Amino acid sequence: MIEELTKFWNGEFDNFAPEAHNLKHAYKSRWVRFHSLPESKRYPENESEYLEILSRHNLVLQELCGNGSKVFVVLPEYSEGRLLSQPRSELLKLFSASEPWCTLAQHEDDDDYESYWHLHVSEVEFPSSELNSLFRMVANDEVDNIMIICPSKGIVFHPYDGGADIVLASAEERDHLKEQHREWLSSHPEGF
């Protein structure tokens, strides 16, 4: 699993650090953002809005990856030390079969403060109840910097509280996906 993900990542992203929130800037020609609620509403307030978020995320993943596809879920764990002795988060408990992938230093320009992201990976078959639970956590801003990666299709899906950033294999695939879901696009001139 780790070897396959690393090979995919290095081949598609030229050794770019796997920081979900930075992909939209570095790979803008293949990137699209969809909002997860009507009128770009950021946070759900009732069950029907949660269901709308789940519906949109699952529909896009189904269109891009297909039912029964193997996907990798990249899950961050944060710490102030380079080594993480024991994963602690509820997120990693949800995906109990996760494996450590890599560690990324954060705040390198601040000598007084160190923090690290320890990225773990779990393999699941889409669709899955774990992903729906994850989408709810993301919508509530309980977790962030999540990536769902489908190496066989060249897809990186990054849900965030308010929507999802998606990097596809090509600009043509991105344009096609944008056309399919125009009503979910941001009105911001740069797509944010």
Q: What is the pLDDT of residue 125?
A: 93
Interacting residues of 190 by C-beta distance below 8 A, sequence separation 6+? none
Q: How many CB atoms lie within 10 A of CB 28?
A: 14
Low-confidence ranges of the chain (pLDDT < 70): 81-92, 107-113
Residue 24 lies in a domain: no
Q: Residues 77, 120: contact at Cβ < 8 Å? A: yes
Angle at 112 between CA 77 and CA 19, to 5 degrees: 35
Q: What is the pLDDT of residue 187?
A: 81
CA pair distance 18, 28, nearest whole angstrom: 15
Q: What is the pLDDT of residue 87?
A: 54
Supply the range of the domain harboring residue 50. 2-16+29-184
Residue 22 lies in a domain: no
Residue 191 lies in a domain: no
Which residue matches tokens 């699209």? 32
Average pLDDT over the chain, rounded to an integer: 89
Q: What is the pTM of this model?
A: 0.91
Residue 163 lies in a domain: yes
Which residue matches tokens 């650090």? 17
Output the DSSP codes for 39-98. Answer: GG--S--SHHHHHHHHHHHHHHHHHHH-TT-EEEEEEEEEESSS--SS---HHHHHTTT-
Assigned token pair, 52: 């709308």
Q: Residues 2, 149: contact at Cβ < 8 Å? A: no
Residue 60 lies in a domain: yes
Residue 146 lies in a domain: yes
| Total domain count, the chain | 1
Q: Residues 65, 153: contact at Cβ < 8 Å? A: yes
Q: How many CB atoms lie within 10 A of CB 19?
A: 16
pLDDT digits (tens, 9 = 90+) for 36-48: 999 999 999 999 9
Q: What is the pLDDT of residue 190?
A: 76
Residue 21 lies in a domain: no
Q: What is the pLDDT of residue 48?
A: 97
Residue 189 lies in a domain: no
